[in-house]
A and B are shown apart, each in its own frame.
Chain A
Amino acid sequence: MSLLHIAIISPFLLAILVPIFYKLFKQVHTGWFVLPLPILLFSYFISYISNVSHNRITTESISWIPSLGVDFIAKVDGLGLLFALLITGIGSLVVLYSIYYLGKDKEQLNTFYVYLLLFMGAMLGVVLSENLIVLYMFWEFTSFSSFLLIGYWYHREKSRYGAQKSMIITVFGGLSMLGGIILLYLMTGTFNISEIAAQSSEILNHSLFIPALLCILLGAFTKSAQFPFHIWLPDAMEAPTPVSAYLHSATMVKAGIYLVARLSPVFAESGVWLWLVAGFGIITLFWGSFSAVKQTDLKGILAFSTVSQLGMIMSLLGIGAAALHYPSIDDSFYTVATTAAVFHLINHATFKGSLFMVVGIVDHETGTRDIRRLGGLMSFMPITFTLALIGTFSMAGLPPFNGFLSKEMFFTGMVRVLEMDIFNLETWGLLFPILAWVASVFTFIYSMRLVFKTFTGKYQPEQMKKKPHEAPLGMLIPPIILASLVIIFGLFPNILSHHLIAPVMASILPSLLNDSKEFVVHISFWHGPTIELFMTLGVIAIGVVLYTTFPKWKSMYDLHPEKLTLNRFYDRGLDLVQNGSFKLTKTYMNGFIRTYLVYIFTFFILIIGASLFMKDAFVVKTNNLAPIGLYEVVLALLIVVASITILFAKSRLTSIILLGAVGYIVALFFVLFRAPDLALTQLVIESVSVSLFLLCFYHLPKLKREESRIGFKLTNALISVGVGVVVTLVALSSHSNKLFESISQYYIENTYEKAAGKNMVNVILVDFRGFDTMFEICVLAIAALGIFAMIKLRLTRRKEG
């Protein structure tokens, strides 16, 4: 086990210790014990940067299930390292923030940090796993721990609802991803991503390629809250704010992005990939930003904003794949989209993390998150206001913050879609820049709403639960760090480019790297009066106009009927599935034994009858038959008459006696067919059974009076005739189709020689096949004991009194 493996599982190990710390050191906030670990891990992963920037990939392997090709292989390359740094870095800040956010006395801190550490370890496992099955394991671990974290305040109904919803949607995607992984394994014979990627050109035309692609993308889209699976993310906002900041802005929702980026070397050659990833991304971008504007809850705005920004990154990853299709054009022409995706990934994590923390502070200090109640907080919370300003301006894509740079590059990528002439992009490609631009206008509007509706305007003290004041320093430090990163990356973007972005690009688009060439990423702050700049200016101009006139066109949102929202579809669907299956079960599980017997007999008739018919199995051969004797015919008539009379017998006593008659006739048959032991047993047992029947039912006086015939039912009659016919047919054809001789000759020859007996049946019962007899004795013993117990043991609840 290498240090890297220990780093990945260390959060799990610490999670074991957290409850112990919690119990032992009640007076210290448990978060302080957790905090060192992510910081340590962050510095550990920092040490990989020099390795990675020289394109050296570290791989460590432990054997787990070698016979199935599942090994825990940890791999640190550019992409994995970037995510590991985000997870541990923002993880440290979130833990620090949560120490101040969650009260020591009010909250169950032990469970919170256990869940959080589980999540952190699972996320590290996802991004650093080379083996897809191990990746899937950690992937489900993130769904699971996120479920626990969303439902942290489990006494609130909305928390439970949100947790369940996110669980259902992400696990649905996760399972489909597992299907995709298995399909990939079927095509390539390996679970290791780099080995699969090495075979990508061979599997491109495999019949399972598209299903695998769809399954994997379904997993990625549900996890990363892409349209129409984004509906779980706004409901996940019921989680404590540190959780929202960590899981639902910086890490977990980017797991889908990670997966898409990670498997780009496998799938990106395909046009379907480009269309789906870019198309769903751009739709999500538009829909998220459009819906964010109408939210009145601060976290709701941020949730939809996260959805939209994730869509933006996703669409950039899709467009970036186009570079693979134009080998002649200079590589950086289309890879700019991939660069923008990676850069925006970092930027989004910084500004969205800080914005969530800011919102948490506002919630914490005023007691509400509703922007209709908030306003005029600028003078009370100047630091928070500044942080919010930085975050939202970066989100809206204004200079000099990092969001501006990534938005410019995003526009560049989208504009370049126009020049593609593959996969029908020449006709539909125009939608990409238009949607991108419109979405950016909406992004601008909700960003402005977020900051100005909260911090400027009228101060309404009577609407707030607490008197607002500035947050404690510890709560402010994490967003301050993130906001300074926003500015630093905005002003000096190239400190990231060589060490982080270029290696990530190398992981996403490895096939473009030949002969030890490196991606040269250079993000320029000022790139001249290009079309992107005018687009940004247009966004600002239109955005300002629309923001100021928002009350006038707000009613536009009412045009979209409540009935047609995706949430409504989800709720209806869930309801339909539950009620539908309940009703379905109720229709066929009605509690009547008769109904179940009808099912059983019907299927017996159908299945056996159908296979007799389909296999042409019904044959009657007459060459092997015994002669018909007079006695047998008489007995046969008698038994038929007796058994049919039972059906029409009015009294139960008659039926019992008729059953006895049938039994005695069977005994007579045994006599005629040369089976003396059987005849003997049958006679005795029939006598005993009939007396038992009589004992049971003759002496129950009430029953005697309730005499009636069986009511005639056509279905019952048809079914029973069917059963009888099928049995007869099976008997006839199986008798006609004897495949080999009986083995009984052996018994006949050896009964005396080997077993010293002359009665063959008895010798078989106790000698050749004695085990049958032993267990038959057991059956009788159990029946006897059972009857005894039933009669003697009366533990029923007697009616009192």
Chain B
Amino acid sequence: MEILMAIVIGILFMTATYLMLSKSLLRIIIGTGLLSHGAHLLILTMGGLKRGAAPLLGEYAKSYADPLPQALILTAIVISFGVTSFFLVLAYRAYQELGTDNMDQLRGNEGNE
């Protein structure tokens, strides 16, 4: 199962990278979203999959899934949500002010002030 997941994660990273290399700001943000999904799944996979019951003591199981990666992912989800929403609003405002979401036109080099 872990090998399959590793391949799935690799594909997620691949598509995320491809989107981040595109011109449109929206696609870049979508790329970051895919990237964070990939990262979350990676953490979970590396912790080992399907090693017992959900980490709830009420289950009275012999073994439980590792709770630590889950806690880490939960934190990561919330943080990436915060960052993504900030980034989205930033992109929205940038579009409002500058009238484009093409990254090639958003160059901040000299002379473009």
Contacts and interface: CB of A to CB of B under 8 A. Distances in A.
A724 B56 contact: no
A643 B21 contact: no
Nearest to B91: A696
Interface in B4-23: 4-23
Given A678-B74, A689-B81, A725-B10, A744 B27 contact: no
A647 B107 contact: no
B19 to A, nearest CB: 7
Given A640-B8, A786-B86, A666 B78 contact: no
A751 interface: yes
A128 to B, nearest CB: 50
Contacts of B19: 646-647, 710
Interface string A757-801: 011110011000100110010011011101100110000100000
A416 interface: no
Interface in A621-649: 622, 624-629, 632-633, 636, 639-640, 643-644, 646-647
B77 A790 contact: no
B78 A776 contact: yes
Nearest to B29: A693
B4 A632 contact: yes
Contacts of A662: 12, 33-34, 37
Contacts of A742: 47-48, 66, 68
A712 B75 CA distance: 36
Contact of B77 (A597, A685, A727): A685
Contacts of B11: 640, 643-644, 724
A731 B1 CA distance: 12
B50 A673 contact: yes
Contact of A728 (B10, B84, B109): B10
A770 B33 CA distance: 26
A683 to B, nearest CB: 11
Contact of A626 (B38, B48, B95): B48
A700 B79 contact: no
B30 A659 contact: yes
A731 B84 CA distance: 25
A689 B5 CA distance: 24
A48 interface: no
A710 B22 contact: yes
Interface residues of B, number: 87
Interface in B39-94: 40-42, 44-58, 64-68, 70-71, 73-75, 77-79, 81-86, 88-93
Nearest to B42: A731
Contacts of B27: 652, 655, 710
Contacts of B45: 731, 735
Given A772-B75, A776-B79, A727 B54 contact: no
Contact of B18 (A696, A717, A752): A717
B70 A678 contact: yes
Contacts of B57: 751-752, 758-760
Nearest to A785: B86
Contacts of B58: 758
B14 A713 contact: no
Nearest to B83: A783
A723 B13 contact: yes
A796 B64 CA distance: 55
- Which one of A627, A669, A784 has the greatest number of beta carbons of chain B within 10 Å? A669
Contacts, number: 272
A720 interface: yes
Given A591-B107, A627-B50, A697 B65 contact: no
A362 interface: no
B16 to A, nearest CB: 8
Contact of B3 (A681, A693, A696, A732): A732
- Which one of B53, B88, B97 has the greatest number of beta carbons of chain A within 10 Å? B88
A640 to B, nearest CB: 5
A176 B27 CA distance: 52
Contacts of A760: 55-57, 64, 67
Contacts of A459: none
Nearest to A731: B6
Across chains A and B, which 9 residue pairs bring their CB atoms closest together, nearest first? A724-B14, A728-B10, A720-B17, A783-B82, A591-B109, A760-B67, A758-B57, A720-B18, A591-B107
Interface of A: 590-594, 597-598, 601, 620, 622, 624-629, 632-633, 636, 639-640, 643-644, 646-647, 652, 655-656, 659, 662-663, 666, 669-670, 673-678, 681-682, 685, 688-689, 692-693, 696-697, 700, 702-703, 710-711, 713, 716-717, 719-721, 723-725, 727-728, 731-732, 734-735, 742-744, 747-748, 751-752, 758-761, 764-765, 769, 772-773, 776, 779-780, 782-784, 786-787, 790-791, 796
Interface of B: 1-24, 26-30, 33-34, 37-38, 40-42, 44-58, 64-68, 70-71, 73-75, 77-79, 81-86, 88-93, 95, 97, 99, 101, 103-104, 106-109, 112
Given A662-B12, A720-B14, 20 more contacts: A590-B109, A591-B109, A628-B1, A640-B8, A640-B11, A647-B18, A647-B19, A666-B37, A674-B65, A693-B26, A703-B101, A710-B24, A721-B14, A723-B13, A727-B10, A728-B7, A758-B58, A776-B75, A784-B82, A787-B86
12 contacts: A592-B107, A646-B15, A675-B54, A676-B54, A685-B77, A703-B26, A724-B17, A732-B2, A735-B6, A744-B68, A752-B57, A760-B57
